[in-house]
Amino acid sequence: MSDKNKPTSETEALPETLILGHFDNSLTERQESELAQRLATCPETRARFRTQMRMEGRLHSLGRDGFLASAAVQQASAADGPGSHIEHQVTTVAESSSRRIPPVFTSWVAAASTILLLAAWSLWPSGVNAASVLRQAQQAAQELVDRTYRVTLTNPSNQAWEQELTLDIRGGSKFVLRPVDGSYIMGSDGSEFWMARPDGPVWVTSNYRALAPALRRRIPNRRVLGLATSPNKPFLLDITELLSLIKRKYEIELINPSGTPEHHIRATLRSGTVNGPEKIEFWTDADTGVVIKAKTYWPDQNIRTLELLNSEPLNQNWYQYPLHMPDAEARRL
């Protein structure tokens, strides 16, 4: 394609300039009126606007579905040469794979098929660094045990957005999520995704994307489901997926030295990478590698915090909806 697409005259340039300016939200009031008048009176302008409208929709869809991210990530990875390593405690985790973060539901299902057992502590290298802490945390997160986390969603500029939830998770593929006010419950048994409100039916699907719109109006606070279903802002409540994301896209730094009971890691999004939290911090138990706390910092100032409450075994059927909603009607979507 040529980059030399300069308009040949002002009269030809104007409609397209107005149209692109509209999508950039940069038109003045007078220009908006002018565009409106042209759309009302000029079939060519309408046709061009429709084409641009479809193009904008497709670009947003391509972005949402991850077709744009790979190119950007590849470029960012290519830019991360040996010179980008900083000090000995800052580790760039090279990863050849540039695949997009999968939607959380599918990733959890996929994670279930790749569960590994915990590595023996005796094999752990004596020299602790950021990469070794991350590896240990990943192995611990793949243990097939129940863990319960407190999840806090906050935004310094919007206190109304604050929420607290409880997350039970087993092995990365099964979860139950409940806000503290008990207004709804959602979960997955590893193969199906379900959600219910008190006294309501249980909505069940194996296709979370189809589930999302149907549920939005049934959930008092829709933003939580938005987080759960947006591929652009993956939920990241799954420690396994969070650690995997860190490995692929972040530079990690061990904050506190070895010998302390907890390891504190700070992960910073690599320059040029476009998707994900700008910063992630997590704390692991120095002995077990289990993530005790994790905080993700997003560009829109949202902060999501996970704190481990306990690792007690839960009922075998805990991740299936009949245990929580025994009398509710199940409706499949």
Partner 1 sequence: MATGVRGTQRDLMTESQPIQQYLQLRSEFMGYLYAITRDAELAEEVYQNAAVVIIEKASSDETIRNFRAWAKEVVRRQALHAIRSRETARRHGRATAPELLEAISATFCEDDSTASLVHKEAAAMQKCVGELPQEKKTLVAMRYEHDASFDEISRKMNSTPAAIQRALSRIRKMLHECTQRRLALSEGQQ
* Helix axes of 208-216 and 222-229: crossing angle, nearest 10 degrees: 170
**Residue 158 in the binding site for partner 1 (CB under 8 A):** no
54 binds partner 1 (CB under 8 A): yes
Q: Phi then psi for 250, rounded to 5 degrees?
A: -125, 155
CB of 289 to partner 1, least distance (A): 32
| Nearer Cβ to partner 1 (107/136) | 107
Single out the residue of 85, 86, 213, 261 in contact with partner 1 (rule: CB under 8 A): 213
- Given a contact cutoff of 8 angstroms between Cβ atoms, the answer to whether 183 and 215 are in contact is no
25 touching partner 1, by CB under 8 A: yes
Instruction: Tell me which amino acid residue 103 is.
Output: P
CA 103 – CA 172 distance, rounded (Å): 13
Look at the block and give the residue holding tokens 């641009």: 52
Answer for which of 39, 111, 227, 228 binds partner 1 (CB under 8 A) is 39
- Applying CB under 8 A, among 86, 110, 210, 309 the residue interacting with partner 1 is 210
Q: Do 212 and 229 touch, CB atoms closer than 8 A?
A: yes
Report the 10 Å Cβ neighbour count for 165. Answer: 20
Smallest gap from residue 146 Cβ to partner 1 (A): 32
204 binding partner 1? (CB under 8 A): no
- What minimum distance in Å lies between the beta carbon of 57 and partner 1? 3
Selected binder of partner 1 within 12, 58, 89, 310 (CB under 8 A): 58
- CA 125 to chain CA centroid, nearest Å: 31
State the nearest-atom distance from the C-beta of 205 to partner 1, in Å. 10
- Applying CB under 8 A, the span of 32-40, 128-136, 167-175, 305-313 interacting with partner 1 comes to 32-40
* Cα distance between residue 265 and residue 256, in whole Å: 8
Per-residue string for binding with partner 1, 272-301, x by CB under 8 A? x-xx-----------------------x--
Residue in the block written with tokens 């890691």: 265
Question: CA 18 to CA 5: how far, in whole Å?
Answer: 16
Of 12, 36, 85, 313, the one binding partner 1 (CB under 8 A) is 36
| Residue 23 binds to partner 1 (criterion: CB under 8 A) | yes
Please select the residue that binds partner 1; options are 5, 96, 97, 159, rule is CB under 8 A: 5
Tokens standing for 106? 């599918």
Q: Site for partner 1 (CB under 8 A): which residue of 14, 46, 154, 330?
A: 46
Nearer to partner 1, 67 or 121 (CB): 67
Inter-residue contact 101 to 213 (CB < 8 Å):
no
CB closer to partner 1, 57 vs 198? 57
* CB burial string 295-322: b at 16+ within 10 A, e below: bbbbeeebbbbbebeeeeebeeebbbbe
Q: Which residues face 267 on adjacent strands?
A: 252, 280
Binding of partner 1 at residue 99 (CB under 8 A)? no
Nearest-approach distance from CB 92 to partner 1, in angstroms: 18
Asked if 227 and 238 touch (Cβ cutoff 8 Å), the reply is no
Is position 51 an interface residue for partner 1 (rule: CB under 8 A)? yes
Which of 15, 69, 185, 270 touches partner 1 (CB under 8 A)? 69
Q: Which two tokens stand for residue 278?
A: 């700008």
Q: How far apart are CA 333 and CA 326, in angstroms?
A: 19
Q: Which residues bind partner 1 (CB under 8 A)?
A: 1-3, 5, 16, 20, 22-26, 29, 32-33, 35-37, 39-40, 46, 49-64, 66-69, 71-72, 74-76, 209-210, 212-214, 216-217, 230, 232, 271-272, 274-275, 299, 333
